[in-house]
Structure 1
Amino acid sequence: MKFSIERADLLKAVSQAQSVVERRNTIPILANVLMSADGSDVSFKATDLDIEVIDKTAAQVERAGGTTVNAVLFHEIVRKLPDGALVQVEEDQTQGRLQVRAGRSHFQLATLGREDFPVMATSDYDANFSCPAPVLRRLFDKTRFAISTEETRYYLNGVYMHVAEGDDGRKLRCVATDGHRLARVDAPLPEGLEDMPGVIVPRKTVGELRKLLDDDDAVIAVSVSETKIRFATPQITLTSKVIDGTFPDYARVIPMGNTRKLEVDAADFAKAVDRVATVSSERSRAVKLALDEDRLTLSVNSPDSGNAEEELAVAYGDERLEIGFNAKYLQEIAGQVDRENAVFMFNNAGDPTLMREGDDQSAIYVVMPMRV
């Protein structure tokens, strides 16, 4: 194998691949990236046995072939090469080394044979559809903050993607919850999705997928089965196992009878929460919201550090209410609002609170209160 490639193209491809690799591996070859040169392309494949990513990029291929090299080490070398450099990569089969040259730099890296590189089993996909990158980006960006990190409830360690009945027809819906907050976001249903099984996309996969969605003009080909999900662009294919578990009936925890309505500037609210939370202890991070007519008072009382209070002008016309929340949860939910105003719907101090963006019903958030 021998090829030449622009440093920027190589760095982009290797970055995507090496981020999938687990830093601690009991199987040595899983720390490697598989490079395969053929025709006018070089593909870079990495896997942790749950996720597989393949990044194909154009290169000047002089000799076809393939080998594997430590992904993190190779990425670090490419990252430190000068901008604009032309990188020459050649496999030296007699020494079992990979020669990497750029300008006056020359590296020899240990390799492992590609025949031992694991192959993810193929899957027959039940549903195949195409979706614009901005639509998928919105679905996952607005839900990922609520993914649970509690390993015992593994079925909450991802985003539940499924077809759901909305008020105005069927929708493609993503939901995430950790038991303390919940995010539910809808998008128009793409063609070809009538028979899609509901799947839980793992947290790590959601993070890797985000790198495919930055191009607003990209269209992502999505394939879904009971056990796997695949996202593909012309250059990159990301295949992942889905979480083998049943996502809870999230509809039961979405409050429908909350009538006390607060409307507030989302950015001002997030900044005010951040300011008053400065004095709160890390353990509780509790912020009290005191609501009166067209006035919201945020306060924190920390026995160790002191007190903080801030007042905001808001739209609120119901009876007085005092309710407490985890400051981090409030900031994260307020941070999802793209529109100017956030609308909170309360019942009482002990019940879940509903939040949405203005009059947009396609994204709703639920947060559980705290005692303060």
Structure 2
Amino acid sequence: MRLMLVAGSSHGHFTQLLARYLGTEPLQATRNKYANGETRFELLESVSGGDVYLVQTSADPVNDSLMELLLMAQTCRYASAQRITAVMPCFPYARQDKMKGWQQPISAKLVANLLQAAGVHQVLTMHLHAPQLQGFFDIPCENLSSQLLLVAWIQQYVPDWRQAVIVAPDNGAVKLATSISEQLSIPLALLHKQRNFSNEIEHMLLVGDVAHKVSIVVDDMVDTGNTLCFAAQHLLEAGATKIYGCVTHGVFTGQSLEKLLQAPYELFACTNSLPLPERVQRERRIHIIDVTSIFARHIQKKNSPNFMIKMQRAPTSELFDVDDLESSKNAQGEKSVQTRPHGTRRVSSK
């Protein structure tokens, strides 16, 4: 099947980098709004019989991005695409994955149902807030990991990382933190949050020893920044000498950037799974890790006519490693970290 990319309006730069890795160009399409605010989408090229990848992330405004993706999927289904994959670097409504009361919805499940109803055959995303979200789908939902590149960033930018401690700022980050600490063969610490009746962080309990050591805080995302800032302050009070932070998704709502810059982080890293504000891109203490190579490699494998044969014969590590792809040039001057063969790293910045 011919590989085809269709770009949504949420993250054009991500789609450009992905297209460059894949050696193709996004199909021409019309994206705008009608006078009454309804979303309009129209393909200007044929997708008949194609292996179509719709690229749309959970960017603000989230509801508009989601609605546009649903229209993109239905358009491709009506246009006789053979396979439709939704490439969603950051999955929308991922934190609304359970009922906290009988009067609340499970919004992530509804999003999964809508994608299937629109005609999506499979979903390709990264670092779901809760891995059990994959069970919401009756179609394949592949949850890629940014861990390889986060580890590469730690090894390149954290001095004396071999004597550092990986810190999970809450219970939800324990699995990622444990995996990274095992890969680096360094200790793990955990911060347990205690909230008041207003759902505000009231106290943090540290489990583990960070005194006189470098602390590396890892999480799936930064949104308001409250958890990461509380964590950094608590680690400083517990005797940490230096503090670094890295996350997959940089949501950066409200005053989160200002909070992080005031917090005692030496450096902070996030990926380009979401479009980042210019003020984040300009900040020298924040590094942006390019993860498009991970998506590109996965798409290449899925699109290959010999993929199923290789999958039966080769271990997973051989199928989904990150190849030595050419370093991308970021027009906004973003710093990108890529993993190369034999464990060496490369960082490129314009």
| TM-score normalised per structure 1 | 0.21
In terms of fraction of residues, the more strand-rich structure is: 1
TM-score, with length taken from structure 2: 0.22
Q: Choose between structure 1 and 2: higher helix proportion.
A: 2
Specify the structure having the higher radius of gyration (Cα): 1
